[in-house]
Amino acid sequence: EMKEAEAMEMKEAEAMEMKEAEAMAMKEAEAMAMKEAEAMAMKDGPALKLDLSGVEPLANGYHYEGWAIIDGAPVSTGKFNIGANGGLVKLDGTVKTDGVFHSVPGLDSATDIIITIEPAGDVDDVPSATHYLAGSLSSGNASLSVGHAAALGSDFSSATGVYILATPTNGADNNENSGIWFLDLTSGSPSVGLDLPVLPEGWVYEGWAVIDGVPVSSGRFLETDKIDQDDPFSGTEGGPPFPGEDYLVNAPTGLVFPTDLSGGTAVISVEPSPDDSSAPFTLKPLIGPIAEDAVDHVTYLLAPGGSDLPSGSAVIGDF
């Protein structure tokens, strides 16, 4: 009788184990089916494929976000950044396979694609004001550019500028090659030295002097006939009502002020606002090598920064 009871208990235990195994298998099958359904749902309808060129990685949590304009309203197509090899990556750094974004409701009726720069921690469903690239769709294809009206609205090919070396904020004839001012002295009196397109909201100009290979800001500005927004390196006296900076105090690590800007480079960049980095952004409409024999209070030309601007393509289709 003991043996029969033990045998019965073993059979009951085996039956319980089989039921548990069957239940586990059912759960696994259900989970697999749900994953497959989610994957199918992700690919239900057309997807967006982005291919970008000349777009650089953003730092400090800033990132890019795509937007499809559907029925006149922006719909997010997904957040991303740019990896070290220039390809699209997810915000955790993993590769965004083929630059494809799935699960965008109504994508087949989109009229435009816009790429924005979003600040760190952004979680809303509203585009930032910093529109970087944009393009209008035709037959499911769009060429993305900074010059599109929904982006910066200009390719900066019309930008021109001049500058002088001078240090007005520490008096006359004192380390004059240690400052740069974007003004014109050809008439004998200071006048506006920069002719730049008006920027849309979300962007700001910034001047730079490259000193011993290190770009040092001369200040951010929106208007070319007023003093700029920054003067951390200038002296105590007033400067002219134009963008510029004297490099006299508070030198960045590795540099010594006063300095001599001859042999360096003058740059005007276009920066996102707010900005992801203290370094110059990709867009540099004006650049001017400063001659080794440059002297103060002489007007020097800035050259176009080049036509190789960031660009891209957007394709809507089955991927």
Return the pLDDT at 307: 79
Same domain flag for 170 and 288: yes
Same domain flag for 187 and 283: yes
Return the pLDDT at 197: 98
Same domain flag for 15 and 98: no
Q: What is the mean pLDDT of each run of 10 residues along the chain (319 residues)?
A: 61 70 69 54 78 98 99 98 96 94 94 99 96 98 98 98 98 95 98 99 99 99 98 96 99 98 99 98 98 98 93 96
Tokens of 189: 């009196």
On whether the CB atoms of residues 160 and 290 are closer than 8 A, the answer is no
Range of the domain at 235: 160-304
Domain boundary among 9, 24, 42: 42
Number of domains the chain is built from: 3
Same domain flag for 292 and 165: yes
Same domain flag for 230 and 216: yes
Return the pLDDT at 97: 87
Same domain flag for 56 and 172: no
Same domain flag for 178 and 146: no
Same domain flag for 189 and 256: yes
Domain boundary among 27, 42, 57: 42
Same domain flag for 88 and 51: yes
Return the pLDDT at 81: 99
Return the pLDDT at 21: 66
